[in-house]
Amino acid sequence: MTPEAEVEVDLDENEIENENSPLTPTSSHTSIHSLPGELWERIFIELSDQADTLLNVSRCCTLWAGVLMEPRFRARMLLKSSCPHLIFHHLRTRAPHLLTFEIAETLLTLGCVLPKYFVEQLFKEAQDAPESMPEGTVEFLVAQGYKRYGDKLRLSMAFMHGADGLTEGDFHDDDEITFEQMALEGPLADDPAEFEMSFSNAEIDLIILCKITQTHHYTPALQPPRTKYSWDDYWEKLLRLTRVDPKLAMHLMLHSGCDKKYANDKLVARAVQDPKTDLDRMKWMVEKGWEVSPGAVVEVLASPDVHVYTSDGKRGLELLRSLVSEGELKEYAEYALIPLLRDATRHGLRSADFLIEEFGIDEAGVGKAVFVNPYDVTCVRNRQGLGAAVVTTFGKAYGGMRDGLWQLMLGRYGVDHAFAAACLNDLVVGGAVAPPQQ
């Protein structure tokens, strides 16, 4: 071995023996254990949508498995699919077994909101089904509720919302409010009832509305509307609110329990259809954060309530022409044909015929709405048990053919056209069916 080589070997050995050397196996520069758990937590949070990867990570080493089992990490993972205002509600309604005492405590330390009405719902549910939540969770959250809301939190008396026929016998000596007090002060109103009352007059009661949304942290998602008409009424309320407090209206829209894009489309469509809305008003709404999106335009063109061929519908269409280019509007009209021809209601067919004529939609555009996707073709069985394929979107949805639909196709395109043949096929296969209820 040459002297140079000996020197190199000696240097390497000395370097390895030096405990401060970066090559030393126990050096902090080479050990993953030296990294703080918060850093690993931030790294693993980015993998929240990759369950298999996180499972493999948990099997790599004790350190990583410990990070994944920490309440803080699990709480942040749950927050990824929710928001601070609704995380407790989402866990209670979707996965109550995950809302342990540790997770609840961690969520509060992370800044999540504990709505007053949620605590009241949780308490009532616990009385009816004590086993529905992990041990200790209800007691902890109720204690936190009292800490935040004090006597405003109504737990020991009958749950008022939706209760009928209350009498003096329904109250006990240990209730927070006596029957006589209730008679003097008027019936107790929970947050959903006060939300409705704040919109009951021509002028919105912002004092009540701000109290329940900012002090009690109430959002409509805690008790969302259950019917189409209730939802329509809700969007109308928010539209009124945009005129007096757009910031609060945006907050309630984002916490309505709907997808953000869907809620935006519903509210913007309602604004376009409102006779009080002009171009300046729509531009103002856009400046405040609302978007005249493709979904909102389709919602207007395919509306089952304000039909596009009526005078109110045409007024909304002209407003859209000031906000959207003609080419984009034609493209969105083709998408609007899909629900119109699929459901084929009387007004829907008239709206479809109007859009085809108004925008000169070609047969290819109409075909996308008439014909079912070849990969989605289904068979309808007759009384003898024999099956035959339906080829229209209406046939797939309702198992037959609507008179108004085949008459529209026959009158517009002729008896020898593929549209008429498709309608005839579904009429033979499934027979004539009654129009769906709007």
> What is the pLDDT, as a whole number, of residue 158?
37
The token pair at 391 is 């080829």
pLDDT bucket at 28, cuts 50 / 70 / 90: very low
pLDDT of 45 above 80:
no
Model confidence pLDDT, tens digit, residues 171-200: 344 444 443 443 333 345 689 999 999 999
pLDDT bucket at 73, cuts 50 / 70 / 90: confident
Instruction: Kindly list the distances between the CA atom of residue 201 and the CA atoms of 205, 207, 238, 271, in Å, as whole numbers in the listed order.
Output: 8, 13, 14, 20
> What is the pLDDT, as a whole number, of residue 13?
43
pLDDT of 381 above 70:
no
Of 134-148, 182-196, 323-337, 403-417, where does mean pLDDT reach its minimum? 182-196
Strand, coil or helix: 100: coil
Percent of the chain topping pLDDT 70: 74
Cα separation, 146 vs 126, whole angstroms:
16
Cα separation, 393 vs 412, whole angstroms:
18
Best mean pLDDT range from 64-73, 244-253, 377-386: 244-253
Task: State mean pLDDT over 295-300.
Answer: 96
Cα separation, 435 vs 58, whole angstroms:
55
Residue 324, CA atoms < 13 Å, CB-side half-sphere: 23
The token pair at 202 is 């021509």
The chain-wide mean pLDDT, for the chain, equals 82
> What is the pLDDT, as a whole number, of residue 70?
72
> What is the pLDDT, as a whole number, of residue 300?
96
Output the CA angle 214-259-393, nearest 5 degrees: 150
Q: Of 61 and 28, which is predicted with more confidence?
A: 61
Strand, coil or helix: 255: coil
pLDDT of 40 above 60:
yes
Cα separation, 83 vs 88, whole angstroms:
9
Of 8-17, 151-160, 255-264, where does mean pLDDT reach its minimum? 8-17
Output the CA angle 222-224-228, nearest 5 degrees: 175
pLDDT of 26 above 90:
no
Of 54-58, 229-233, 291-295, 432-436, where does mean pLDDT reach its minimum? 54-58
Q: Which positions ≥6 away from 21 have C-beta within 8 Å? A: 15, 27
Bridge partners (DSSP) of residue 401 are 432
> What is the pLDDT, as a whole number, of residue 165?
36
> What is the pLDDT, as a whole number, of residue 379?
72
pLDDT of 120 above 90:
yes
Residue 180, CA atoms < 13 Å, CB-side half-sphere: 1
pLDDT bucket at 154, cuts 50 / 70 / 90: confident
Task: State mean pLDDT over 315-331.
Answer: 95
Output the CA angle 27-33-39, nearest 5 degrees: 120
pLDDT of 366 above 50:
yes
pLDDT bucket at 384, cuts 50 / 70 / 90: low
Cα separation, 74 vs 141, whole angstroms:
18
pLDDT of 35 above 70:
no
pLDDT of 114 above 60:
yes
Cα separation, 210 vs 205, whole angstroms:
9
Model confidence pLDDT, tens digit, residues 126-147: 888 888 888 899 999 999 999 9
The pTM (predicted TM-score) of the whole model is: 0.77
Task: State mean pLDDT over 343-366.
Answer: 95
pLDDT bucket at 269, cuts 50 / 70 / 90: very high
> What is the pLDDT, as a whole number, of residue 431?
87
pLDDT of 33 above 70:
no
Task: State mean pLDDT over 10-33.
Answer: 46
pLDDT of 111 above 80:
yes
> What is the pLDDT, as a whole number, of residue 179?
37
pLDDT of 289 above 80:
yes
Task: State mean pLDDT over 369-398.
Answer: 78
Instruction: Kindly list the distances between the CA atom of residue 120 and the CA atoms of 116, 117, 146, 218, in Å, as whole numbers in the listed order.
Output: 7, 5, 11, 12
Q: Which positions ≥6 away from 15 have C-beta within 8 Å? A: 21, 23
